Amino acid sequence: MGEIRTDSELIAASLREPGVFGAIFERHYDAVHGYLQRRLDPARADEIASQTFLIAFDGRRRFDRSRADARPWLFGIATNLAHNHRRHELVELRAMAAMRPEAGAPVEGVEARVDAERLRGPLARALAELPTEEADVLCLLVWAELGQGEIADALSIPVGTVKSRLSRARGRLRDALGLQAGAEAVGANTNSNGGG
């Protein structure tokens, strides 16, 4: 068998030889796991990352093989599984919001650290208050580094819906942090990667 390069080719080959799916796991596990670690505690991230690939393996016949990249599909599965753990995510964000800024910041980079410490609580509180649909889009943009087109694929929604959810999420965060419209830093990536 010749060298298989795209995720689509690997998934197609795995229908005949299931062990080939291991290459999809090796190619994307770290990215999916990293995304989940940012949203969930480490034990849940491990569990859900594993579940993501089990579900993907079981559903590989339904993968749209016209798409060369399986990342949006995998992140969509991971995001859906993470919904079940949203309550834990909210508890963690609220706990982070209640934390006091750390004392004794090092002298080098003190200004940036003080700004980050000052915004940590309000940012965590604002993230906890985002509607789930907006939080998912923002997390996929910032933590999974997906473009708007890939987010649309991952969540099975139109790119226009991704854009409007991002806009609303940014507006809510901007308001919560007291930032002006041009000053937002959260989710400023507007990379469209495949439409949008």
54-92 per-position pLDDT tens digit: 999 999 999 999 999 999 999 999 999 988 776 666 666
Global confidence as pTM? 0.68
Shared domain for 101 and 121, answered yes or no, is yes
Q: Are residues 166 and 139 in the same domain?
A: yes
> Are 100 and 171 members of one domain?
no
d(CA 89, CA 92): 5
Beta-carbon contacts of residue 183 (< 8 Å; ≥ 6 apart)? 174
Pair (72, 12) in one structural domain: yes
5 and 76 co-located in one domain = yes
Task: Please write the tens of the pLDDT for every residue from 132-147.
Answer: 899 899 989 988 999 9
- Tokens of residue 88, six digits: 């834990």
